[in-house]
């Protein structure tokens, strides 16, 4: 799958680099097959990616989708069975990990328990033969960057999970690699800590300007942090784009389902012109962006927050679908409704309504409602 969108524009602007500059990391048709119990299992099935300098890039997908394997091939812990890995344009396929200019932050942190925080962070510099004074200075900077000043002599086992995470980060960053690979680095932290560490990571990445490749199964995290996201499934990249692109215009049914909540409506195309089609669903006719042949059965998707409960007359040209509320969950700023659309195909539609009006206007279970949304906010999913 060719990269349809260039490296994140935000990142490019920030680092002042041209879009046609050499990508920090390039994967060309990379694949990986394992032999497991006499069977060949394909973990990665031909991935093409270009990750720009200074970009915050996420590999997002469920477990087993090949995202970790892809990252480990970049780090050098796995050798691809096909394709080429390039770092700053140079082919590193077959080069062992200790000769690659990338560093990794492990999910388990993999700190060295027998060394102090200082020695952990200094490990890579010392291996590279950096002079002792220089090591002291750079470790000091790194410790400051991750806000662990004063804990240099402590053993990592005496630190909290969040602090260990920072040590792991500093240990990798201090080497100033051309790219930092993070393998679900926040998975072991609790929610509160995870959220503050997300901000922290973003800050650090902005400060050091190093390319981050971030592996996660948490779509929220990916959307929050990334300049660009590659959504992976079954060893393939399903969609590549900015968080907005991936969220707003999911290219596949998988992406639509995996990132956020999506309503799927299926029906028969009754009209198609100028990038807008009309689809007859069980509950009534709706319109959506896209193109399809007349008479074809298609699925269209619309995000819950794009739908509103129509109080009076609907906007001209808007879609409208009647139904019955079967669940209303009050969440403070929003209320989540589940509505059974009229018709016999049993379609249920989820919508998120801002609680701008008073409680008197809120719909209750069993109420008859009309759902409405703008046609350009729903899309035909490719078959």
How many residues at the interface with other proteins, by CB under 8 A? 26
Exposure of 56 by Cβ count < 10 A (0-12 exposed, 13-18 middle, 19+ buried)? buried
- Within residues 273-302, the interface with other proteins by CB under 8 A covers none
Neighbours of 31 (CB within 10 A): 21
Figure out which of the listed residues 34, 91, 112, 131 binds other proteins, where binding follows CB under 8 A: 112
Q: Which stretch binds other proteins (CB under 8 A): 106-114, 218-226, 281-289, 353-361?
A: 106-114
* 185 in contact with other proteins (CB under 8 A): no
Tokens (6 digits) for 132: 């002792």
To other proteins, the closest distance from the beta carbon of 130 in angstroms equals 10
Does position 113 bind other proteins by CB under 8 A?
yes
Q: What are phi and psi of 180, to 5 degrees?
A: -110, 130
Report if residue 46 touches other proteins, rule: CB under 8 A.
no
Residue among 51 and 174 whose Cβ is closer to other proteins: 174
Instruction: Give yes or no for residue 187 binding other proteins (CB under 8 A).
Output: no
CB of 104 to other proteins, least distance (A): 5
Q: How far apart are the first and last CA of the chain?
A: 17
Which listed residue (32, 138, 171, 303) binds other proteins by CB under 8 A? 171
Report whether 11 contacts 55 (CB < 8 A): yes
Q: Which stretch binds other proteins (CB under 8 A): 112-120, 225-233, 249-257, 335-343?
A: 112-120
**Residue 88 binds other proteins, judged by CB under 8 A:** no
Q: Which helix (H) or strand (E) holds 144?
A: helix 132-145
Window contacting other proteins (CB under 8 A); options: 52-60, 93-101, 260-268, 336-344: 93-101
By CB under 8 A, residue 330 contacts other proteins: no
Pick the binder of other proteins from 7, 23, 61, 124 (CB under 8 A): 124
What whole-number distance in Å separates Cα of residue 162 and Cα of residue 193? 7
Of the candidate residues 10, 14, 46, 77, the single one contacting other proteins (CB under 8 A): 77
What distance in Å separates the CA atoms of residue 330 and residue 327, rounded to the nearest whole number?
Answer: 10
Neighbours of 82 (CB within 10 A): 14
- Residues 262/278, Cβ–Cβ less than 8 Å: no
Q: Is 40 in the site for other proteins (CB under 8 A)?
A: no
Quick one: which segment of 109-117, 189-197, 218-226, 277-285 binds other proteins (CB under 8 A)? 109-117
Q: Determine the distance from the C-alpha atom of residue 33 to the mean position of all C-alpha atoms in its chain, rounded to a whole number.
A: 24
Instruction: Supply the minimum distance, in Å, between the C-beta of residue 62 and other proteins.
Output: 22
**Secondary structure (DSSP) of 39-107:** EEEEEEEEEEEEE-TT-EEEEE--TTSSHHHHHHHHHTSS--SEEEEEETTEE-TT--GGGSSEEEE-T
Closest contact distance (angstroms) between CB of 106 and other proteins is 5
Task: Please give the structure tokens belonging to residue 173.
Answer: 């960053």
Q: Which is nearer to other proteins, 128 or 297 (CB)?
A: 128
CB of 118 to other proteins, least distance (A): 14
Using the rule CB under 8 A, is 209 a contact of other proteins? no
- CA 144 – CA 380 distance, rounded (Å): 50
- Cβ neighbors of 22 (< 8 A, separation 6 or more) are 53, 88, 89
The CB density around residue 115, as the number of other CB atoms within 10 Å, is 14
Contact code string over 132-161 relative to other proteins, x by CB under 8 A: -----------------------x-x----
110 binds other proteins (CB under 8 A): yes
Q: Does 111 bind other proteins (CB under 8 A)?
A: yes
Phi/psi for 28 (5° steps) reads -120, 105
Q: What is the contact surface with other proteins in residues (CB under 8 A)?
A: 75-77, 96-99, 102-104, 106, 108, 110-114, 123-124, 127-128, 155, 157, 171-172, 175
């Amino acid at each position: 799958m060719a990269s349809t969108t260039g490296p994140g524009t935000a990142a490019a602007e920030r680092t002042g680099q041209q879009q046609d500059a050499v990508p920090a990391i390039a994967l060309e048709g990379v694949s990986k097959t394992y032999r497991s119990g006499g069977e060949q299992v394909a973990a990665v099935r031909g991935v093409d990616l270009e990750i720009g300098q200074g970009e915050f890039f996420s590999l997002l997908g469920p477990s087993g989708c090949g995202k970790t394997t892809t990252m480990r091939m970049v780090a050098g812990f796995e050798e691809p069975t096909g394709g080429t890995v390039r770092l700053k344009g140079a082919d590193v396929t077959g080069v062992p990990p200790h000769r690659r200019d990338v560093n990794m932050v492990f999910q388990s942190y993999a700190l060295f328990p027998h060394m102090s925080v200082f020695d952990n962070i200094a490990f890579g510099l010392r291996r590279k033969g950096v002079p002792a004074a220089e090591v002291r200075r750079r470790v000091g900077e790194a410790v400051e960057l991750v806000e662990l000043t004063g804990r240099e002599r402590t053993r990592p086992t005496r630190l909290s999970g969040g602090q260990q995470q920072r040590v792991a980060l500093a240990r990798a960053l201090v080497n100033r690699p051309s790219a930092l690979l993070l393998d679900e680095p926040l998975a072991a932290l609790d929610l509160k800590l995870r959220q503050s560490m997300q901000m922290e990571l973003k800050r650090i990445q902005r400060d050091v300007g190093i390319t981050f490749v971030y592996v996660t199964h948490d779509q929220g995290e990916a959307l929050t942090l990334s300049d660009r996201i590659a959504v992976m499934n079954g060893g393939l990249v399903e969609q590549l784009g900015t968080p907005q692109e991936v969220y707003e215009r999911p290219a596949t049914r998988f992406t639509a389902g995996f990132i956020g909540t999506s309503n799927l409506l299926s029906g028969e195309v009754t009209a198609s012109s100028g990038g807008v089609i009309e689809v007859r669903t069980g509950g009534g006719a709706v319109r959506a962006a896209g193109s399809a042949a007349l008479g074809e059965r298609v699925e269209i998707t619309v995000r819950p927050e794009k739908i509103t409960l129509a109080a009076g007359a609907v906007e001209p040209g808007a879609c409208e679908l009647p139904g019955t509320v079967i669940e209303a969950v009050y969440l403070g700023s929003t209320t989540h409704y589940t509505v059974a659309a009229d018709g016999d195909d049993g379609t249920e539609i989820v919508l998120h309504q801002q609680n701008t009006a008073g409680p008197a206007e809120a719909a209750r279970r069993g109420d008859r409602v009309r759902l409405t949304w703008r046609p350009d906010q729903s899309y035909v999913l490719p078959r």
